Each structure stands twice: as C-alpha cells, then as structure tokens.
A and B are shown apart, each in its own frame.
Chain A
Amino acid sequence: MKKRILTLAFIVTMIASLAGCGNKSGENGQVIVYNWGEYIDPETIEMFEKETGIKVVYDEFETNEIMYPKVKAGAVKYDVICPSDYMVAKMIESDLLHEINLDEMPNAKANIGKQYWEMSTQFDPGNKYSIPYCWGTVGILYNKEMISEPITSWADLWKPEYSGQILMQASVRDLLMVGLKKNGYSMNSLSEDELKVATKDLVEQKPLVQAYVIDEVRDKMIGNEAAIGIIYSGEAIYTQRENENLVYVYPEEGTNVWIDNWVITKNTENYENAVKFIDFMCRPDIAKINFDFITYSTPNEGAQALIEDDEIRNSYIAFPNLSDYKNLETYTYLGEDNDEMYNEFYKEILGADN
C-alpha cells in the first residue's frame, strides 16, 4: 500500500509539472503588476493584453505591510503596484516610486475627478507619484431589526445595551481611529496624551465588544451574528444585498476616507508599458467593468456616468457628496517611531482583560 501511495504521488506530480509549462512573453514586452487580491476584473487584463500586445504578469498581496518588504528588498522588479494612501507616502519617503507624467496618461487626466486629486495631496503632495484607483469610507453598519434606536455616532458604540453585539476592526489604525475621532481628535494625531485618552476609552469598551475582526465583519453581519460592525463602504453595499436589514451610517464625529492608488516603481524596467497599463485602467469603459466586479467606489467620473443603475449612481454609500460630511480625514504616514507608539497602544487594548 505504501508503494501504491508513492506511485500515485509520482504520477500526480508528473501531470502537474507538465501542466505548469508554457510562460510566453507578449510581442511588446511585459508589465509586472502587484495588486490586492480580487481587486481587478481579470477580463480587463485580457482586454489590455489583446489591445496592446503587452503581456501582464499579475501578482497579488494581502495587506500593504506584507507587500512593502517584498518590494523594498527588490525580490521581484514590479512595475505597477496599488498601495493605499499612507503606504504611498511611506514608499515616497523610502524613494521607491517613479514620478508620473500625467500628460502621458490622457485617460487618467480626463477622467479622475478633481476632488479625488485634492484628497490625494494629503499623502502625495502635488500628485506626483500616484493615480487614484479605488476609494471609500469607513462607517458603522447596524442591523435595524436587532437595534431599536438608530446609531449615529462612534459614541453610540459605548452604550452598555449593545454588549456582545459590537464588532470592532482588528488593525492598528482603524481601531485607534475610532477612539480618537470619538474624542474629537485627528486620526493622525501624534499627541501621546490624545492617544492615551483614546486607548483608555477603547479599553473600557472592550467588555462590550464581541470580537475584533477584519474581513469577517461581512459574514457576521449578514448572518445576524452581531448587530453593529465597523466596515468599509465597498463591503456595505454587498452586505445590504444579502441582508436587507443592514444600515450604513457615517458617524457624526467624522471618519476615514481611504484611497488605493496606482504607482510605478523606481526600478521599473518597463516604464512605458506601466504607463499604458495604468492609463488603460482609467478608460471609462474599463473602469466601469472593474467597478462592477469589485464594487468599491471608483474615482473615475467617466465611469460613474456609465453606471446605469440610478440607485447605485446616487447611492450615499458608493458615491457620497463628501462635502456633506464633516471631519473626514485620510490616513497619513506617521513615521516609524509614531507607528511604534500606535502599536504599543493597540497592544494595550487587545491585551486588556475582557
């Protein structure tokens, strides 16, 4: 029997290694793209390859932080990457990015809305390195069947009657942001005193919290496992489709607006192809296909106009009029020392007794 298992294993390997062959380069060279998982419609990549004859080598990452060391070490010479706002700032500081000339990208220039360029200046002054790709807000999702009074603010998450029903975010910035904003501070605060106040509040809140999660918010809210959760706007629309009792609100103390952006790396070997790739993704029809696939808001106004479903085009979740909401902020890169300070407070919260 042992021999049989081994023979079987060998046969499977042979088949597998045969199937693994065949890696052809395009007639016009290639472009190596490093993006979030499931963050593009594969169809648009095929269209790009067909139209330009450039082969796309596509790679995915899970978080900004797991992407950064791989890029910094230069293990693979990526051409195009899609980091979030504060990570763009960090990569600029580490001199990892190539400057972008908007005149080479007519689609990006024509279609990305003015307000998004302005927002980007918070982490990329002068819009020199990055092109907005997807954006959204962080808000509170609650189940109106499980909760009688509507929730309007971060402070509501401290009400004892919601004990065991609250899902908080398990990431340093997204968790501390809630404590800071609740007290009216900036989410990029560098004041140790302000962070202490925020931490104290979050520690007090811990017994009420059901769990600190990241991506499980979605499923737990759909399944009625919790009544209140902190969630990204792009996920909110999907959860509402699956469970009609869910309501998304912008907390009145203000919240986070995030943007994921295309950037080109400094040591790119395919600069021209990288430019073509990014510009292709900014074409309204292509951006529309990607929006339908990933459902995160697109900053592409050309694509927004192509959306046929009025309900989505006018949705306050997908495309809010940002001037309607107060105290919106984008994360900035705080520097290594401050990152550590944030992390210390974060550990204090998660390590506290329930």
Chain B
Amino acid sequence: MKTAGSVLKRIYIALIIIFMYAPIVTLIVLSFNSSKSRAKWGGFTTKWYVSLFQNDAILQAFFNTIAIATLSAIIATIIGTLSCLAINSMKRKGKTFWMGITNIPMLNAEIVTGISLMLVFIFLGVKFGFFTILIAHITFNIPYVILSIMPRMKNLNPSTYEAALDLGASPFVSFFKVVLPDLMPGILSGFLMAFTMSIDDFVITHFTKGPGVDTLSTKIYTEVKKGIKPEMYALSTIIFITILVLLFLVNVSGNDNKKEKIK
C-alpha cells in the first residue's frame, strides 16, 4: 500500500542519506581534482589513481588498517560477548562495577589511553609493532561491543535455553542454537562499531605503534602538515565503491535464499 505516510518515510530516509553522504561525494569529487588543494578545482584527472597504485607506503598502510580493524573487531566481539553473559549473571553491584569499568576507555581522553597503554607495553617489555596496535584497538573496541549487546541481554529469555536443554541438547549446542541467534543483531552491530572505531583511530595508534608500521589514519594525520595527498581521496573512493558493490551483491544473493524465522 502506498500511503502518504510511506512516501514521507521514504523522503525522510532519503534526506538523512543525503546528509550522511554529502561529504563522501565531496571526497569522491576531490579524488578527480587535478589541483592538490581541496579549495580549488584544477580540472578533471585520474592521475591520483595511477600514482596511488605506485605508492607502496599507502597500500601497505591500507592492508594494515584492514587487518587490524578486522582482527581487533573479531577478538573484541568474542571477548565482549562472553563478558556480557558473565556480567548479566552478576548481582546488581557487580554489574554496576563492571559496566563502570567498561565505560572508562570511552571516557578517557584518547591521548591518555594512548600514553598509558604505551607505558604498560614498555613495562611488559613488548616489542612495539603490529601486535601492540592490535591489543590497543581490542581494548577500546570491547566497550562498544558490550554496550551494543547489553540491551539485548536484558530481555533474553532464559526459558527457551532451558527448554532446549530439556529436549536433550547439550549446553554448548543449546547456546549456539538458542542464545546466540537471539543476541546476533547486537553482536553484529557491536562488531560493526568496533570495526568502525578501529579504522578511524589515530592518537592511540600513534603511541602504540612501532616504527615503519602505519595505518591509513596515521598516514593521513601526519600528512596534514604538508597537505593531504589526493591519493588518499582516490583510495577512499575505491574503498567506498568496493564496499557498496559488495553490499549490493550480498543483497542480491541474499534475496534468493531468504527464509522467514519461525517464532
């Protein structure tokens, strides 16, 4: 049914999408700008795309970024999900305590978290490099995972899990078949948020990274003094288009074998 309401809804979504994508479109346009300055249109060019693929440093930073974001998001999601189960079964005081702890990395100024993690790593005698960045990212990712899952935890129904046990499933199987699917949307959005936070971080990465290991963020922020390289716009455009295409493909193939969940 096409009512006035559904038209309004579509307009609303469209407006917010325009709002979210206006700067992305700007970045895409800038990637074809032959002037190095973002304030001046110097004519159309694709030269930044060519020089991007000749720039090993940027490509290496790109791979590091993806690897760290994916690994840290996965590990943080696992640790976060487990700890949600544990925190949820605590008494009120314990719960409040652990939720308070969880919020700390979000409250600290990033530079505080960065420097203090650096000091902890020095104390532990760890060699700075890929591994230390990974640990730091997991640390600030866990709270986002927990905050995403906790609201779902609250209305988790224990009786379905018990029913599964009664019907002869092992605790392991019933967890994976009953509890996990229920938490899945929360887990997934926790994963996405963790991934997002990791991609963007600069300050904490700077203090926990070893020499020669760069992420896109550390590259971009250090470039600020001499001006952002247009290659970065080109890379952003490629990343964006790739994800968009993947999303589209997933959507198309997802529609073929869609099953309605039985309630």
- By a beta-carbon cutoff of 8 Å, the part of chain A in contact with chain B is 1-2, 4-6, 8-10, 12-13, 15-17, 19-20, 23, 32, 34, 36-39, 42, 57-62, 66, 69-70, 73-76, 78, 214-215, 218-220, 222-225, 238, 242-243, 294
Q: Please name all residues of chain A whose beta carbon is closer than 8 Å to the beta carbon of B212 when the two chains form the complex.
A: 23, 57-59
CA distance A5 to B36 in the complex (A): 36
The residue of chain B having its C-beta at the shortest distance from the C-beta of A38 within the complex is: B226
The residue of chain A having its C-beta at the shortest distance from the C-beta of B41 within the complex is: A223
The residue of chain B having its C-beta at the shortest distance from the C-beta of A15 within the complex is: B63
The residue of chain A having its C-beta at the shortest distance from the C-beta of B184 within the complex is: A2
- Ranked nearest first, the 9 interchain pairs of A and B with the lowest CB-CB distance are A223-B39, A37-B222, A16-B67, A59-B211, A38-B226, A60-B222, A13-B70, A219-B39, A16-B63
Question: By the criterion CB–CB under 8 Å, are A17 and B225 in contact?
Answer: no
Within B194-214, the residues touching A (CB, 8 Å) are 195, 206-207, 210-212, 214
The residue of chain B having its C-beta at the shortest distance from the C-beta of A60 within the complex is: B222
Q: Apart from A19-B63, A69-B207, A75-B128, list 8 A-B contacts with CB within 8 A.
A: A9-B73, A9-B195, A13-B66, A16-B70, A38-B222, A38-B226, A215-B225, A223-B37
A62/B221 contact (C-beta < 8 A), A13-B66, A37-B226 known = yes
Question: By the criterion CB–CB under 8 Å, are A76 and B223 in contact?
Answer: no
Minimal beta-carbon separation of A170 from chain B (angstroms): 13
Report if B43 contacts A (CB, 8 A).
no
Question: By the criterion CB–CB under 8 Å, are B40 and A62 in contact?
Answer: no
**Residue from A60, A62, A66, A219 within 8 A of B37 (CB atoms):** A219
Q: Which of B67, B115, B223 has the most CB of A within 10 A?
A: B67
Q: Please name all residues of chain A whose beta carbon is closer than 8 Å to the beta carbon of B40 when the two chains form the complex.
A: 222-223, 242-243
The residue of chain B having its C-beta at the shortest distance from the C-beta of A61 within the complex is: B222
Question: By the criterion CB–CB under 8 Å, are B250 and A4 in contact?
Answer: yes
Question: By the criterion CB–CB under 8 Å, are A62 and B122 in contact?
Answer: no
CA distance A218 to B37 in the complex (A): 8
Question: How many A-B residue contacts, CB cutoff 8 Å?
Answer: 126
Q: Please name all residues of chain A whose beta carbon is closer than 8 Å to the beta carbon of B191 when the two chains form the complex.
A: 6
Within B28-82, the residues touching A (CB, 8 Å) are 35-40, 57, 60, 63-64, 66-67, 70-71, 73-74
Q: Please name all residues of chain B whose beta carbon is closer than 8 Å to the beta carbon of A243 when the two chains form the complex.
A: 40
Q: Please name all residues of chain B whose beta carbon is closer than 8 Å to the beta carbon of A37 when the two chains form the complex.
A: 219, 221-226
Report if B171 contacts A (CB, 8 A).
no
Within B204-248, the residues touching A (CB, 8 Å) are 206-207, 210-212, 214, 218-219, 221-227, 229, 246
- By a beta-carbon cutoff of 8 Å, the part of chain B in contact with chain A is 35-40, 57, 60, 63-64, 66-67, 70-71, 73-74, 115, 118-119, 121-122, 128, 130, 184, 188, 191, 195, 206-207, 210-212, 214, 218-219, 221-227, 229, 246, 250-251, 253-254
**Residue from B118, B222, B223, B227 within 8 A of A75 (CB atoms):** B118
Q: What are 29 A-to-B residue pairs whose CB atoms are below 8 Å?
A: A1-B251, A8-B246, A8-B250, A9-B70, A9-B74, A13-B74, A15-B63, A16-B70, A20-B60, A20-B130, A36-B222, A36-B225, A37-B221, A38-B223, A38-B226, A57-B211, A57-B212, A60-B214, A60-B218, A60-B219, A66-B206, A70-B118, A76-B128, A78-B211, A218-B227, A223-B40, A224-B39, A242-B36, A294-B226
Q: Please name all residues of chain B whose beta carbon is closer than 8 Å to the beta carbon of A10 when the two chains form the complex.
A: 70
CA distance A59 to B210 in the complex (A): 8
Question: By the criterion CB–CB under 8 Å, are A20 and B64 in contact?
Answer: yes
The residue of chain B having its C-beta at the shortest distance from the C-beta of A232 within the complex is: B225
A16/B64 contact (C-beta < 8 A), A62-B206, A76-B210 known = yes
Q: Please name all residues of chain A whose beta carbon is closer than 8 Å to the beta carbon of B74 when the two chains form the complex.
A: 9, 13
Question: By the criterion CB–CB under 8 Å, are B39 and A220 in contact?
Answer: yes
Minimal beta-carbon separation of A135 from chain B (angstroms): 15
Q: Please name all residues of chain A whose beta carbon is closer than 8 Å to the beta carbon of B38 when the two chains form the complex.
A: 219, 223
Q: Please name all residues of chain B whose beta carbon is closer than 8 Å to the beta carbon of A220 when the two chains form the complex.
A: 39
Question: By the criterion CB–CB under 8 Å, are B67 and A13 in contact?
Answer: yes
CA distance A242 to B37 in the complex (A): 8
Q: Which of B73, B219, B222, B223 has the most CB of A within 10 A?
A: B222
The residue of chain A having its C-beta at the shortest distance from the C-beta of B71 within the complex is: A13
CA distance A243 to B39 in the complex (A): 10
Minimal beta-carbon separation of B103 from chain A (angstroms): 25
**Residue from B63, B195, B210, B225 within 8 A of A38 (CB atoms):** B225
Q: Please name all residues of chain A whose beta carbon is closer than 8 Å to the beta carbon of B67 when the two chains form the complex.
A: 13, 16-17, 20
The residue of chain B having its C-beta at the shortest distance from the C-beta of A221 within the complex is: B39
CA distance A242 to B122 in the complex (A): 46
The residue of chain B having its C-beta at the shortest distance from the C-beta of A295 within the complex is: B226
Q: Please name all residues of chain B whose beta carbon is closer than 8 Å to the beta carbon of A5 when the two chains form the complex.
A: 188, 250
**Residue from A9, A39, A59, A223 within 8 A of B226 (CB atoms):** A39
Minimal beta-carbon separation of A293 from chain B (angstroms): 9
A75/B121 contact (C-beta < 8 A), A39-B226, A70-B207 known = yes
Question: By the criterion CB–CB under 8 Å, are B66 and A12 in contact?
Answer: yes
The residue of chain A having its C-beta at the shortest distance from the C-beta of B118 within the complex is: A75
